[in-house]
Amino acid sequence: MHGGAQGSGAAGERNFAAQRPLADRSFQLIVPDRPGHGRSPDPGRPDDAEADGQWVAELLEGGSHLVGHSFGGAVALAAAARRAGNVLSLTLIEPAMHKVAASDPRVRQFGRGS
């Protein structure tokens, strides 16, 4: 699942092009464009990790390896929480989830650059 702000050129196929050779090794790649990104229509709402996660969860079949980058990491986590039994592995790459750990003093210190 790709990141990027709505209306940007960020989309699944563009962001995960390097994984295309996996299809030659019998993996089925599903690389959707999040709502309001790439070729996907504007959902008429701001980016919403929970809503997008529900949509992605419907795409998960048993034995899925789920990857999310940036805001797509939050979407992937929401999807995996909904259909954990269908996810073999979950990889989050620089997930945009700063608020999850905002109460941790080490995270606050890091955010201040100290």
pLDDT of residue 101: 78
What DSSP state is assigned to residue 33?
Answer: P
pTM higher than 0.75: yes
Residue 3 lies in a domain: no
Number of domains the chain contains: 1
Residue 1 lies in a domain: no
Please, are residues 31 and 12 in contact by the beta-carbon 8 Å criterion?
Answer: yes
pLDDT (average), residues 71-87: 95
Determine the residue type at 12.
G
Residue 98 lies in a domain: yes
Please, are residues 70 and 93 in contact by the beta-carbon 8 Å criterion?
Answer: yes
pLDDT (average), residues 4-21: 74
Strands annotated E in 1-114: 64-69, 87-93
Cα distances from 2 to residues 25, 26, 36, 84, in angstroms, run 22, 22, 12, 20
Count other Cβ atoms within 10 Å, centred on residue 47.
19
Count other Cβ atoms within 10 Å, centred on residue 20.
11
At 37, the pLDDT band (50, 70, 90 cuts) reads confident
**Segments forming the whole domain that contains residue 102:** 12-111
**Strongest mean pLDDT among 29-38, 44-53, 98-107:** 44-53
Percent of the chain exceeding pLDDT 70 equals: 94
pLDDT (average), residues 45-68: 92
Residue 102 lies in a domain: yes
Please, are residues 101 and 75 in contact by the beta-carbon 8 Å criterion?
Answer: no
Query: Does residue 13 register a pLDDT over 80?
Result: no
pLDDT of residue 100: 75
pLDDT of residue 7: 62
